[in-house]
Amino acid sequence: MALFWPGTPCALCSAPIEEARQAIGFAALPTTLSAFDGLHDANVHRTCLRVWALKDEFVAQYNGLVDTWARGRVSRLSLTSAGDVVHEVDDWVPF
Ligand SMILES: [Zn+2]
Protein backbone atom coordinates (compact mmCIF):
# COMPACT_ATOMS: atom_id res chain seq x y z
CA MET A 1 0.00 0.00 0.00
CA ALA A 2 1.22 3.43 -0.81
CA LEU A 3 2.71 5.28 2.10
CA PHE A 4 1.14 8.61 2.97
CA TRP A 5 2.72 11.67 4.51
CA PRO A 6 1.42 15.26 4.50
CA GLY A 7 2.46 16.83 1.22
CA THR A 8 2.76 13.56 -0.72
CA PRO A 9 1.97 14.30 -4.36
CA CYS A 10 -1.32 13.26 -5.95
CA ALA A 11 -0.67 10.80 -8.78
CA LEU A 12 -3.37 12.44 -10.87
CA CYS A 13 -2.77 16.21 -10.47
CA SER A 14 0.72 16.26 -8.87
CA ALA A 15 -0.41 18.76 -6.22
CA PRO A 16 0.44 17.95 -2.59
CA ILE A 17 -2.12 16.10 -0.49
CA GLU A 18 -2.14 17.75 2.93
CA GLU A 19 -4.28 15.39 5.03
CA ALA A 20 -4.77 11.62 4.96
CA ARG A 21 -8.56 11.97 4.88
CA GLN A 22 -8.22 13.76 1.52
CA ALA A 23 -6.39 10.79 0.01
CA ILE A 24 -7.03 7.29 -1.17
CA GLY A 25 -4.04 5.03 -1.64
CA PHE A 26 -3.51 2.00 -3.79
CA ALA A 27 -1.48 -1.15 -3.43
CA ALA A 28 1.67 -1.97 -5.33
CA LEU A 29 0.41 -4.50 -7.83
CA PRO A 30 2.33 -6.15 -10.67
CA THR A 31 2.88 -3.82 -13.57
CA THR A 32 0.63 -4.22 -16.53
CA LEU A 33 2.27 -1.65 -18.79
CA SER A 34 -0.96 0.27 -18.94
CA ALA A 35 -1.91 3.91 -18.56
CA PHE A 36 -2.76 3.21 -14.92
CA ASP A 37 0.63 1.97 -13.76
CA GLY A 38 1.42 5.36 -12.21
CA LEU A 39 -1.40 4.86 -9.73
CA HIS A 40 -0.13 1.61 -8.29
CA ASP A 41 1.57 2.20 -4.93
CA ALA A 42 0.43 5.82 -5.08
CA ASN A 43 -2.01 8.21 -3.43
CA VAL A 44 -4.50 10.51 -5.10
CA HIS A 45 -6.89 13.20 -3.91
CA ARG A 46 -10.35 11.70 -3.47
CA THR A 47 -11.71 14.77 -5.27
CA CYS A 48 -9.43 14.20 -8.27
CA LEU A 49 -10.43 10.54 -8.48
CA ARG A 50 -14.16 11.36 -8.22
CA VAL A 51 -14.10 13.42 -11.42
CA TRP A 52 -11.45 11.43 -13.33
CA ALA A 53 -12.91 10.23 -16.65
CA LEU A 54 -11.01 6.93 -16.49
CA LYS A 55 -11.91 5.94 -12.92
CA ASP A 56 -14.31 3.15 -13.94
CA GLU A 57 -11.65 1.56 -16.14
CA PHE A 58 -9.02 1.97 -13.43
CA VAL A 59 -11.22 0.36 -10.76
CA ALA A 60 -11.94 -2.59 -13.06
CA GLN A 61 -8.28 -3.10 -13.88
CA TYR A 62 -7.19 -2.69 -10.24
CA ASN A 63 -9.75 -5.20 -9.03
CA GLY A 64 -8.68 -7.62 -11.73
CA LEU A 65 -5.09 -7.41 -10.54
CA VAL A 66 -6.17 -7.81 -6.90
CA ASP A 67 -8.17 -10.91 -7.81
CA THR A 68 -5.23 -12.37 -9.70
CA TRP A 69 -2.32 -11.46 -7.46
CA ALA A 70 -3.38 -10.32 -4.01
CA ARG A 71 -6.83 -11.58 -3.04
CA GLY A 72 -7.26 -11.48 0.72
CA ARG A 73 -4.21 -9.28 1.23
CA VAL A 74 -5.37 -6.14 -0.56
CA SER A 75 -8.83 -4.61 -0.49
CA ARG A 76 -10.69 -4.36 -3.79
CA LEU A 77 -12.16 -1.01 -4.86
CA SER A 78 -15.79 -0.14 -5.41
CA LEU A 79 -17.74 2.88 -6.60
CA THR A 80 -20.38 4.49 -4.41
CA SER A 81 -23.65 5.83 -5.81
CA ALA A 82 -22.15 9.32 -5.41
CA GLY A 83 -19.26 8.36 -7.66
CA ASP A 84 -16.59 8.03 -4.99
CA VAL A 85 -14.02 5.25 -5.12
CA VAL A 86 -13.63 3.41 -1.81
CA HIS A 87 -11.92 0.31 -0.53
CA GLU A 88 -14.49 -2.50 -0.20
CA VAL A 89 -13.37 -3.59 3.27
CA ASP A 90 -14.55 -0.91 5.68
CA ASP A 91 -12.06 -1.69 8.40
CA TRP A 92 -9.15 -2.15 6.02
CA VAL A 93 -6.43 0.20 7.22
CA PRO A 94 -3.79 1.27 4.76
CA PHE A 95 -0.28 1.57 6.07
ZN1 LIG B 1 -5.07 15.54 -7.09
Predicted pLDDT of residue 79: 92
Q: Which of 38, 35, 8, 33 is nearest to 20 (CA)?
A: 8
Give the model confidence (pLDDT) of 62-87 as tens digits: 999 888 888 778 889 999 999 999 99
Between the CA of 6 and the centroid of ligand 1 the distance, in Å, is 13
Query: Of the spans 4-8, 34-38, 70-74, 86-90, which averages the highest pLDDT?
Result: 4-8
Task: Please indicate, yes or no, if residue 95 is contained in any of the structural domains.
Answer: no
Q: Look at residue 58 and tell me whether its pLDDT is greater than 70.
A: yes
Question: How many Å lie between the centroid of ligand 1 and the Cα of residue 74?
Answer: 23
Q: How far is CA 87 from CA 15, 33, 41, in A?
A: 22, 23, 14
Q: Find how far residue 42's CA is from the centre of its chain.
A: 7
Specify if 45 maps to a domain: yes
pTM strictly above 0.75:
yes
- CB of 39 within 8 A of CB of 11? yes
Q: Answer yes or no: is 92 within a domain.
A: no
Ligand 1 centroid–CA 40 distance in Å is 15
Domain with 65 in it: 8-87
**What is the total count of domains within the chain?**
1
pLDDT at residue 90 tops 70: no
Cα 60 to ligand 1 centre (Å): 20
